[in-house]
Amino acid sequence: MKNVDYFKGKKIVVLGLAKSGLAAGTLLHKLGAQVVVNDLKPLAENIQALELQQLGVEVICGGHPLEILDGKIDLVVKNPGIPYSNPLIQKAIEKDIPVVTELEIASIISEAEMIGITGSNGKTTTTTLIYEMLKESKRVPLIAGNIGTVACEVAEKATEENILVTEVSSFQLMGTEHFHPKIAVFLNLFDAHLDYHGTRKEYGLAKAKIFRNLTTDDYCVINEDDAEVMMLAKEVIGQKVTFSVKKQVENGAYVKDGYVYYLDEKIISIENIVLPGAHNLENIVAAICAAKLAGATTKRIVEVLSTFAGVKHRTQFVTAINDRKFYNDSKATNMLATKVAVSAFDQPVILLAGGLDRGNEFDELIPTLEKVKGVVLYGETAPKLEKAAQKAGLTFIEIVNNVTEAVNKAYEHSDRGDVILLSPACASWDQFKTFEERGENFIEAISKLE
């Protein structure tokens, strides 16, 4: 770790627990900060808060009393999912107290350089590809961030011999001032999380904070097929490396005549790439750019692309039962992700969808629903999705209570050769804590069918 005394003696409020709050609270306490942890869940049923309390951390649970910010507070570290409209956050802003996410802590203490990957879709796949491509490079890659292990927890153990491959969300990036990746990857921009950011413009600006601290020695990897991404990167100081699946680019990776290239080097035939779906070509060319810049060999890149079939919860093949194939795309928390997932299949698809109601309608999904065999819907958004499915002319529309019932109903109505696809088009928080939990529930329901 570097800057080990940066937080020493500072009074810091950690707002919200879950994985990020627990990691941040534990690390800041270890670094000598005076930490106060505040979480909505009552202490008696809050395992993470009890764990911190045993370490000697002050814990306030069961609500968000504004009095926590009375006196001198140096910093608020908030859970990324807590909106800025939260009264405690509003009071902190009024008092000019910096409000950050744990990604900021990671950027301050990490000895290792970082690759940061953001975008509306494809972050997890691209992050995993880069990590795998770098496994035989001079610096040992560590994977971190929104993909699993909390960034500050990984950064604590990282050295100069490592490189942190870090998936970062707009929620995390909003709470950064010093975050400085050596390579910043911005994949794409579509409507998502507008209930949190308010407008598409603000959402894009939050994503673009990944470029904020780049220098002329750093790189930004950007999508030449996405005009908004290119515009947001227009004033970036870092060296620009682009990728495209539609045209040849001068400085980056692209697809041409059935092959993937990096600069003038032919990397691999598209026919030899295992990862399914045309949409994944964007993720692949982006990953090649970042991996090459970080020292990956062509040999290793080809090995990964010839064997890597996808990440868990992202169009993940689960199993086949009586010639019905089951795919888990629980990470599809918006309509675009579901569109992409459905388009990856030529076989008849029975779609399982539904989840948290963020206030939007699903008319944008109608052209995609027109292509599926039927839908099984659950969760808060089931009635809205039903309307969209009716407009799409579907005759097989079922509403059930949960994912387990959805699996059973889909299988009951399926035929040999069908794909049964969980791709919810919604966040999971109405019935599950995370999209991972939703995906595991789907897999468990399938196992009971077997």
Residues 296-350 have pLDDT tens digits of 999 999 999 999 978 778 888 899 999 999 999 998 998 988 998 998 888 999 9
pLDDT at 166 over 90: yes
Is 134 part of any domain?
A: yes
CATH number (domain holding residue 394): 3.90.190.20
Q: Are 286 and 324 found together in one domain? A: no
If phi > 0 it is left, if psi is from -120 to 50 it is alpha, else beta; for residue 295 that is: left
Domain range for 225:
106-307
Is 124 within any annotated ligand binding site? yes
| Residue the block writes with tokens 């399914």 | 276
Distance CA 230, CA 188 (A): 9
In angstroms, the CA 433 to CA 407 distance is 20
- Among 71, 100, 129, where does a domain finish? 100
**What is the pTM (predicted TM-score) of this model?**
0.81
Across the strands, what pairs with 422? 328, 352
Residues 320 and 293 reside in one and the same domain: no
User: Do residues 291 and 387 share a domain?
Assistant: no
pLDDT band at 358 (very low <50, low <70, confident <90, very high): confident
Mean pLDDT of 200-224: 95
277 pLDDT exceeds 80? no
Is 128 part of any known ligand binding site?
no
Do 182 and 302 have their domain in common? yes
pLDDT at res. 200 = 85
Give me the percent of the chain exceeding a pLDDT of 70: 98
Instruction: List the beta strands (DSSP E) in 212-370.
Output: 219-223, 239-244, 252-256, 259-262, 265-269, 316-321, 324-328, 349-353
> Is 96 contained in some domain?
yes
Output the average pLDDT for the chain.
Answer: 94
More confident residue, 214 or 340: 214
| Confidence category of residue 197, pLDDT binned at 50, 70, 90 | low
The model's confidence at residue 194, banded by pLDDT at 50, 70 and 90, is low
The whole-number average pLDDT for the span 8-35 is 96
Domain with residue 24: its CATH number is 3.40.50.720
180 pLDDT more than 90: yes
Same domain, 226 and 121: yes
Whether residue 139 is contained in a domain is answered as yes
Q: Are residues 216 and 123 in the same domain?
A: yes
Give the dihedral of Cα atoms 429, 432, 437, 438; nearest 10 deg: -80
Residue where a domain terminates, one of 287, 307, 327: 307
Is the confidence at residue 191, as pLDDT, over 90?
no
| Averaged pLDDT for residues 231-246 | 96
Note whether residue 349 is domain-resident.
Answer: yes
pLDDT digit string, tens, across residues 65-80: 999 999 999 999 999 9
**Last residue in a domain, options 277, 307, 337:** 307
pLDDT in tens, 260-273: 999 999 999 999 99
Compute the average pLDDT of residues 290-301. 98
- The answer on 193 and 294 residing in a single domain is yes
Shared domain check, 287 and 360: no
Is residue 4 situated within a structural domain?
A: no
Does the annotation flag 121 for ligand binding? yes
In a domain, 214, yes or no: yes
- How much is the pLDDT for 279? 78
Number of domains within the chain: 3
pLDDT at 412 over 70: yes
pLDDT bracket for residue 192 (50, 70, 90)? low
Q: Considering the domain boundaries, does residue 2 fall inside one? A: no
